[in-house]
Amino acid sequence: MGNDQPTDLVARMQGQRLNRRRLVQGAGALGLAVPALGASLRGQPAFAQDAPAVGQLVTVSEQQRSTWLRNFNPFTTDNLWPTGNGVHEPLGVFNLLTGEIVPWLATEWSFSPDNLVLTAKIRDGVMWSDGQPMTARDVAFTFNLFKPENNSGLLGAFMWDYLASVEASDDRTAVFTFGRVFTLGLYDVMGQNIVPEHVWSQVPNPLEHTNENPVATGPFTEIPVFNNQYWELHRNPTYWQEGKPQIQGLRFPAYPGNDQMLFATTNGENDWAGNFIPDIENTYVARDPEHHHYWFPATGDTVMLYLNTTVAPFNDPNVRKAISLGINRDQICAVAMYDYTHPADGTGLSDAFEDWKSPEAVAAGDWVTQDVDRANQMLDAAGLTRDGDVRKLPDGTEMSYDLNVVAGWTDWVSACQIISQDLEALGIRARVQGYEQPAWQERVQTGDFTMSIGWSTGGATPFGYYRGQMSTQRFKAIGESADENWHRYTNPQADELLDQFAATSDEAQQRQIAAQLQMIFAENAPAIPLFPGPQWGEFSTKRFTGFPSEENPYALLSTYAPTRLLVMMELKPVAAQ
Amino acid sequence: MRYILRRLGFYAVAAWASLTLNFFLPRMMPGDPESVIFARFRGQLRPEEVEALREAYGLSDDPIFLQYFTYLTHVLRGDFGLSISAFPAPVTDVIATGLRWTLLLGGVSLVLGFVVGNALGVLGTWRRGSLLDSTLPPLLIFIGSFPYFWLATLALYLLSFELGWFPLRHAYSDRLSPSYSLDFVQSVLIHLILPAGTVVLVSIGGWLLGMRNTMIATLAEDYITFAEAKGLSQRRIMFSYAARNALLPNITAFGMALGFVLGGALLTEVVFSYPGLGYQLLTAVRNLDYPLMQGLFLMITFAVLGANLIVDLLYVRLDPRVRGS
């Protein structure tokens, strides 16, 4: 590292969740902060003035910012955590671990037989924090607020692609009429956070409204302290759930970078965090084995190796499978990912969809375990002849490519380095080429790449993943910017199955269709799954208990998962037990 | 007077040039803001939501020159638009959360570093070969050449984390709200010691060396010999004859540094979790937040130009040769 430190630091300093975990690994390489933290701490002499108030407020480390800006607008991206599913509440909370929607502001819901009308019963007795009752009219108002005809640019607008109207037939019933059948819209609709009509109808421009004093239904609505580096969110005195929340509130010190966040988390100052921490057993758990816990379930989006399928020879599924066979995923998981996850299977689905997986498809995806001999045979059979160390295409060009990666995302970089070595054995040169994130993203989006590591889409069901991997709907020609399907793969059979999937609200039928989609993926290898991404979460039971864990997986521990609302209900001070 | 007018003309052209660069340079970076922001919220936002982001940020499809003129007229009205990385906060609000802390940290450490560095330079050179002169410059240069990030993290780890003498983070205690109370001022000062102290420590060497170099040259001048021959006091020769003349190059450097204070001390802010503009600038660049970048760059360039203007005017006072020409 040496003199690279300042640049490396710059690479690690985005105020962003996405990069935080990757970037933190840089701190390990930096050789100072993390080993220093690993050293035993004697008595934790935190500066007395700043020590957290024990047993009062839960300290959460979620957003990375040097200063706080007061924004509780649930229709914008950069609002303060937890504006959604915390201050405001959704109709239902989708729990990825159970695959079910927990009734919240809506108590029950059902589709009409033709799946074109969704009717939801709205909970009785819920009050806005200003004392007014919450009704189905607020629900209808919220959805019409972000309707593109009424206001542009608000999050949620995409739902109006399939919604035709949202109305309240009475105070307790919200009716969602669909313009076309799209049963998966249920997850979007139920996940929408609701705002009060009597407040937001007075807002002239909802897009630019910072909603500094939110009127909401959530467990935490009061903001007694708000300074540029620190703020507190206290409980809603009129919360509709009896006896909840059991804690007084949450507190948020601003941490601008990973090292500061890590300092505070390993030091036991943060009660609940969603940080990537390298070598966590030694750097975090060992600091206080009794209280420090973590849970990294591999339920996040699968990290993929994308090959541009418009470029020969990567239009040949056998070549894609051969490349996949050359990769040592165990090594990637052990070295690049600290064994926090495991190799993906040939369906590419993460652990969140374990019970969706078809054993036949998993067996058909036999191209994910390293087998160099078989890979070489397949490449030979594809007419890619080896000339010395490097294979050549039939037209004589060498198989020598750039493997694109985001510079500074050290887990990805290290995974790419392993892939590059592995492909060398197959006679394919893959030079690891790091780009700044925007530049990397522009390349994958416009299809200006041959090989690139990248993320995939998750969601409530396997639908999102397979649509992102194989659907014509999400396909864009080379040169046009694609949000998904960067590898440019389409499959008419998959299109048909995806349409069927979205047309039925019968889960048994959806599972059957998903099995067929998995089979298509396993047979065609549109892209190469590497490993399912872990979802980071740490907690300390020194002051509070009730966090979800591997032993008690009632919700995800990740602070950004919608189930944070379920976690907030369960947290309680240690003394109160 | 003609000198001053000429300088003013120069500043007007420089201001226009920086406004223009300010607009075009960020837009030449690859990528687009909505994709970058989407990536940040990956796992929480649906890919379909990118469209909404595009509309929210109001990124125009107008021809770039039309956009440029809109930008110029908006800037003249003092309208910098809404930040993208902290949407929908206005750029001015984003800057306001860090501005005064950057000014405090940057100002205090710059002035302290300048005063102490130059004073040591003058004293050391006046007694050339003394213990002060032979040990201090190499020692300070040695310290100054450490990577600052390393030095600051070490200070934070040892003095705050292990020993608990100083706070671990922030510009004032989390338990206080900004006010003019004694408690608050005290808290601000305690929180300022480490961040400012480390900056001063690494910057003293530069000032000292600059002063020492010009001081040596100045001491060889005839007018110093003449002043000594006149029998003036050592003190008077040291400060009014030697130091005053030797100070000129460092004044220019001070002016430059003063302007750059607004750029924020990025590494200091990050290590000590100090609120400031440096980190905001980094976030803006990383997120392709054009409006925030424009606002910050504009402020920095105008501060640099302003500081230089002041230095130019100061020269008229300090250096009679400028007045003559």
Is the CB of B174 less than 8 angstroms away from the CB of A253?
Answer: yes
All residues of chain B having their beta carbon less than 8 Å from the beta carbon of residue A71 are: 86, 88-89
User: Helix (H) and strand (E) counts for chain A?
Assistant: 18, 24
Measured in angstroms, the CA of B86 and the nearest CA of chain A are apart by 5
The CA distance from B95 to the nearest CA of chain A, in Å, is: 10
Measure the CA–CA gap between A49 and B173, rounded to whole angstroms. Answer: 7
ipTM of this model?
Answer: 0.84
Task: Please report the pLDDT score of residue A544 as a whole number.
Answer: 94
The number of C-beta contacts closer than 8 angstroms across A and B is 230
* DSSP per position, A519-537: HHHHHH-SSEEEEEPP---
Q: Which chain B residues contact residue A483 at CB under 8 A?
A: 35, 38, 47-48, 50
With CB atoms and an 8 Å threshold, state whether B31 touches A439: yes
End-to-end CA distance of chain B: 10
Cβ-defined contact of A71 to B162 (cutoff 8 Å): no
Residue ranges covered by each domain of chain B: 91-323
pLDDT of residue A2: 33
Chain A residue with CA closest to B31: the answer is A438
Cα angle, residue A275 at apex, residues A270 and A278 outer, rounded to 5°: 115
Q: State the residue for tokens 């770039």.
A: B64
Q: Which residues of B touch A210 (CB under 8 A)?
A: 88-89
> Who contacts B178 (Cβ-Cβ below 8 Å, separation ≥6)?
A227, B172, B184
Strand residues in A260-337 grouped as ranges (E): 272-273, 292-294, 302-307
Would the pLDDT of A519 be above 50? yes
Chain B: give the shortest CA distance to residue A49, in Å.
7
Q: Are A158 and B85 a contacting pair at CB < 8 A? A: no
Note whether A438 contacts B171, CB cutoff 8 Å: no
**For residue A260, which residues of chain B lie inside 8 Å, CB to CB?**
169, 270-271, 273
**In this structure, what DSSP letter does residue A93 have?**
E
**CA angle in degrees (0–180, nearest 5) for A174-A175-A179:** 145
Nearest-by-CA chain B residue for A254: B273
Contact A438 B36 (CB under 8 A): yes
- pLDDT (0 to 100) of residue B301: 85
- Residues of chain A in contact with residue B31, where contact means CB-CB under 8 angstroms, are 436-439, 441-442
Provide the pLDDT for residue B59: 72
Per-residue model confidence (pLDDT) at position B41 = 81
CB A271 within 8 A of CB A545: no
pLDDT higher than 50, residue A575: yes
pLDDT of residue A31: 36
Average the pLDDT over A115-121 and give the result.
97
Structure tokens at B41: 């919220």
CB contact under 8 A, A441 and B267: no
Contact criterion met (CB < 8 Å) for A47 and B154: no
Interface touch B43/A259, C-beta < 8 Å: no
Q: How far is B294 from chain A (nearest CA, A)?
A: 18
Residues 6+ apart with CB under 8 A from A181: A114, A115, A116, A502, A503
Residue A285, pLDDT above cutoff 70: yes
Q: Options 3.20.190.10, 3.10.105.10, 3.40.50.10580, 2.30.30.230; which CATH number does A302-532 get?
A: 3.10.105.10
Confidence of residue A307 (pLDDT cuts 50, 70, 90): very high
- 8 Å CB contact of A255 and B97: no
Q: Is A5 a residue whose pLDDT tops 70?
A: no
Contact check, Cβ <8 Å, A227/B98: no
Contacts of B161 in chain A (CB under 8 A): 36, 41, 263, 267
**What pLDDT is stored for residue B325 in this prediction?**
54
- Domain at B91-323: CATH architecture: Orthogonal Bundle (1.10)
Residues B174, A438: C-beta atoms closer than 8 Å: no
- Give the pair of three-digit tokens for residue A444: 């994958």
- Which of A569, A568, A566, A570 lies closest to A95, judged by CA? A566
Q: How far apart are the first and last CA of chain A?
A: 48
Closest chain A residue to B148, measured at CA: A6
Q: How far is CA B223 from CA A272, A344, B320, in A?
A: 70, 81, 15
User: How many of the other CB atoms lie within 10 Å of CB of A359?
Assistant: 9
Cβ atoms of A256 and A15 closer than 8 Å: yes
Burial of A79 (0-12, 13-18, 19+ CB in 10 A): buried
pLDDT given at position B239: 85
* Within this chain, domains A92-200 and A302-532 share the same CATH topology: no
A36 and B58: CB-CB below 8 Å?
no
Burial of A159 (0-12, 13-18, 19+ CB in 10 A): buried
Q: Determine whether the interchain pair A66/B269 forms a contact, defined as Cβ–Cβ distance below 8 Å.
A: yes
| Bond prior to A313 in cis (omega within 30° of 0) | yes
Are the beta carbons of A494 and A470 closer than 8 angstroms?
yes
Supply the CATH classification number for the domain A5-18+44-64+219-297+535-576. Answer: 3.40.190.10
**Looking at residue A55, what is its pLDDT?**
57
Asked whether the beta carbons of residue A158 and residue B48 sit closer than 8 angstroms, the reply is: yes
The shortest C-alpha distance from B301 to chain A (Å) reads 22
Whether the bond into A245 is cis, omega within 30 of 0: yes
Chain A nearest-CA distance from B205, in A, is 19
Interface test with B, best of A229, A444, A466, A556 (most B CBs within 10 A): A229
Q: Please tell me the pTM assigned to this model.
A: 0.86
DSSP assignment string, A330-342: HHIIIIISTTSS-
Residue with tokens 């100054």: B144
Closest-CA distance of chain A to residue B224, Å: 43
To the nearest whole Å, the CA of A313 is away from the closest chain B CA by 28
Answer for the pair A569, A245: CB distance below 8 angstroms, yes or no.
yes
pLDDT band of residue A301 (cuts 50, 70, 90) is: very high
- Which chain A positions have a beta carbon within 8 Å of B270's beta carbon? 9, 13, 66, 256-257, 259-260
Phi, psi dihedrals of residue B79, rounded to the nearest 5°: -100, 110
Q: Where are the domains of chain A?
A: 5-18+44-64+219-297+535-576, 92-200, 302-532
Q: What is the pLDDT of residue B113?
A: 93
Which of A50, A153, A156 is nearest residue B174 as measured by Cβ atoms? Answer: A50
What are the residues whose beta carbons fall under 8 Å from the beta carbon of A299, sequence distance 6 or more?
A96, A97, A350, A351, A352, A532, A534, A535, A556
Q: What pLDDT score was predicted for residue B3?
A: 76
CB contact under 8 A, B150 and A32: yes
Q: What's the pLDDT band for A51 if we cut at 50, 70, 90?
A: low
Distance in angstroms (rounded) separating the CA atoms of residues A344 and A232: 41
- Nearest-neighbour CA in chain B from A535: distance (Å): 10
The alpha carbons of chain A give a radius of gyration, in whole angstroms, of 25
Identify the band that residue A117 occupies on the pLDDT scale cut at 50, 70 and 90: very high
- The residues that bridge with A177 in the sheet, in sequence order, are A117, A165
CATH class of A92-200: alpha beta
Amino acid letter, residue A292: H
pLDDT along chain B (325 residues), means of 10: 81 88 86 84 80 79 83 86 88 90 92 93 85 86 86 90 87 87 92 93 90 89 89 87 86 84 82 88 88 89 85 80 67
**Tens-digit pLDDT profile for residues A215-239:** 999 999 999 999 999 999 999 999 9
Chain A residues with CB under 8 Å of B86 CB are: 69, 71, 78
pLDDT score, position A30? 37
Instruction: Using an 8 Å CB-CB cutoff, list chain B residues near A147.
Output: none
Give the pLDDT confidence score for residue A50 in this predicted structure. 52
The answer to whether B113 touches B317, Cβ cutoff 8 Å, is no
Q: What was the pLDDT predicted at A91?
A: 97
* Contact status, residue A328 vs residue A418, Cβ threshold 8 Å: yes
Whether residues B93 and A69 touch (CB distance < 8 A) is answered with yes
Q: How far is CA A405 from the centre of its chain?
A: 19
Nearest to A104 by CA among A23, A191, A21: A191
Give yes or no for residue A439 having a pLDDT over 60.
yes
* A432-452 mean pLDDT: 94
Residues in chain B with CB shorter than 8 Å from the CB of A230 are 170, 174
Question: Most A CBs within 10 Å: which of B101, B270, B296, as the mutation test of the A interface?
Answer: B270
Calpha distance A524→A318 (Å, rounded): 8
Res A9: pLDDT: 33
Q: Which of B42, B98, B148 sits opposite A67 (nearest CB)?
A: B98
- Residue A332, judged by CB atoms within 10 A of its CB (0-12, 13-18, 19+), counts as buried
The shortest CB-CB distance from A33 to any of B51, B153, B171 is to B153
- Nearest CA to B172 among A238, A406, A253? A253
Shortest CB distance from A484 goes to which of B47, B87, B169? Answer: B47
CB-based contact B275 A229, cutoff 8 Å: yes
Alpha-carbon span A521 to A347, nearest angstrom: 6
Residue A416 scores a pLDDT above 80: yes
